[in-house]
Amino acid sequence: MTVASIDLAQRLAGRVAVITGGGSGIGLATARRFAAEGARVVIGDVDRAAGEAAAAEVDGLFVAVDVTDEAQVDALFDAAAERYGSVDIAFNNAGISPPDDDSIETTELPAWQRVQDVNLKSVYLCSRAALRHMVPAGRGSIINTASFVAVLGSATSQISYTASKGGVLAMSRELGVQFARQGIRVNALCPGPVDTPLLQELFAADQERAQRRLVHVPVGRFAKPEELAAAVAFLASDDASFITGSTFLVDGGISAAYVTPL
């Protein structure tokens, strides 16, 4: 195949992609991007209305799922394989960042555990469910949403969120190594702060908190969900065929910066 014969607009043609947290934010933007690149998309979300709307928009399948529940996660991936014949891409993206997850001094154990279950346990369950389909096929791409906070510390800590994302990063690295010779790539997407409705709501109420973060971004702004979706589509595609076990930072330069531009 020559370069001229590759249709870059259809990099994911014929692939089946499962996205958790696909009803909003990065997940929804990625569903749109995957569909535009030719993939069949399966949306998993706990929010039925948002998930159904997302699936309808991309002509895909919606499956209601609590990503902390093993049986429901298995059913999500089985439904994708049953409807479309395979599971080629798993974007394990569902996550939460609730207000009761704060400093270690004030975050109580139930809040800690809830975040661990949704952000880390779910990635374990989703990766395992995806691998059951990918290993027999001898191919697949798993992308797990970690965070830039997995690689550097913050004095405005969300202690369980940070710990959960560090776990996602380490687990993704290990899976990437373990399954590399079975044709399966596993990478950790590490976004910087993303301009989502949740972030806008948080920072509209506290401009000082917003500026305390924004000053550390060399690019000078927060990411757009579509910019993360483009990175996920790359990792899902054969363009990333030699990339596995990676810490894929899409953070506007935060993790590289000491002093940022004025």
Catalytic residues: 161
CB atoms near residue 133 (< 10 Å): 19
Burial category of 25 from C-beta neighbours within 10 Å (exposed 0-12, middle 13-18, buried 19 and up)? buried
Q: Do residues 37 and 237 make contact, with C-beta atoms less than 8 angstroms apart?
A: yes
Q: Do residues 235 and 176 make contact, with C-beta atoms less than 8 angstroms apart?
A: no
Task: Name which of 148, 178, 187, 185 is nearest 165 in CA terms.
Answer: 148
